[in-house]
Amino acid sequence: MNRFTVSSSPHIRSAESVSRIMFDVVLALIPAALAAVYFFGVRVLFIIGLSVLSAVLTEALIQKLTKKPITINDWSAVVTGILLAYNLPPTAPWWLPVIGSAIAIALVKHAFGGLGQNFMNPALAARAILLAAWPVRMTSWQIPGVDTVSTATPLAILKGTEAGAAQLPSLWDAFLGNIGGCIGETSALALLIGAAYLLYRGVINWRIPFTFIGTVALLTWIFGGDGLFTGNAIMHILTGGLILGAFFMATDYPSSPVTPLGQIIMGIGCGIITSVIRLYGGYPEGVSYSILIMNIAAPLIDRYTEPRIYGEVKNNA
């Protein structure tokens, strides 16, 4: 009898899809991988590949065991795998990405309900666990182009924890990525190319990344030097995980606020915490922890920043 489908309007849907969004993020992360290969050698591809493989297999395994539809073709596990790898040092042993991605997917993503339900950025939460478990392995830096010679990151030098011989790199090297650091975080240039693509595609918006980076720039300029307003803000922006974190990690949909004002608060909050850790904390770098802390605050931020609706009456009785 019913020849025609009867359903609620609207009757058409946009071409947007979850997998397309995730695939765009993968595309946007490729320039950073190329830069990593250039500066740290082909081995980083092995680390990234293992990380992605572990993430995808863990997701498939969990979904198979829990008898849920297997959704590894939505690219979201691939994104988590790449981001986890990008947060590892180039010297990481093979098992570090394998364990890290498994933790990210199993513990942070699926234990809380899977896609869209993670309350923290999976890759960052896993990184924090790895850092606590294997602090030395997680901080064995490498001079670009030279195998396994340990070096200090520019932020550690800025902080003064690496006394004496260590020299800050030039801003140009920091911009290109010719510095010590995690696999995917060193090349500001490569990351910004990817970020521009995500902004162009509408996958992310300006609010979190620009306020995050802007806040760090402002605070490190004011308080980062010997006197007020003498800090090396540009070096702070270009080094460490700020650009990777601001554009690719703090913008993680499920773990960041959805309201426009909430996103601005998220960015500023991340910027303040990052700056405080970098300038006054025990670690040279604070991007990861700042994002994780703000992730926890995100639901609360959303609750208090609902947009004012069209025609909202003031003093609504």
Residues lying near other proteins in the complex (CB under 8 A) are found at: 2-14, 16-18, 20-21, 71, 74, 113-117, 253-254, 258-260, 306-313, 316
Give min distance, CB of 190 to other proteins, in A.
25
Choose between 232 and 259: whose C-beta lies nearer to other proteins.
259
Choose between 114 and 245: whose C-beta lies nearer to other proteins.
114
Give min distance, CB of 273 to other proteins, in A.
22
Bond from prior residue into 154 cis (ω within 30 degrees of 0): no
Choose between 70 and 146: whose C-beta lies nearer to other proteins.
70
Map tokens 């065991």 to a residue. 65
Give min distance, CB of 30 to other proteins, in A.
21
Give min distance, CB of 124 to other proteins, in A.
17
Choose between 13 and 135: whose C-beta lies nearer to other proteins.
13
Give min distance, CB of 147 to other proteins, in A.
40
Residue type, 198: L
Choose between 210 and 283: whose C-beta lies nearer to other proteins.
210
Give min distance, CB of 113 to other proteins, in A.
8
Give min distance, CB of 152 to other proteins, in A.
38
Give min distance, CB of 55 to other proteins, in A.
17
Choose between 184 and 254: whose C-beta lies nearer to other proteins.
254
CA dist list (Å): 259 to 205, 237, 265: 12, 26, 10
Kindly report each contact of residues 157-160 with a partner whose C-beta sits within 8 Å and lies 24 or more positions away, as own/partner: 158/224, 158/232, 158/235, 158/236, 158/239, 158/278, 158/284, 159/278, 159/284
Measured between alpha carbons, how far is 154 from 85 in angstroms, rounded to an integer? Answer: 20
Choose between 20 and 64: whose C-beta lies nearer to other proteins.
20
Measured between alpha carbons, how far is 244 from 110 in angstroms, rounded to an integer? Answer: 24
Choose between 130 and 208: whose C-beta lies nearer to other proteins.
208
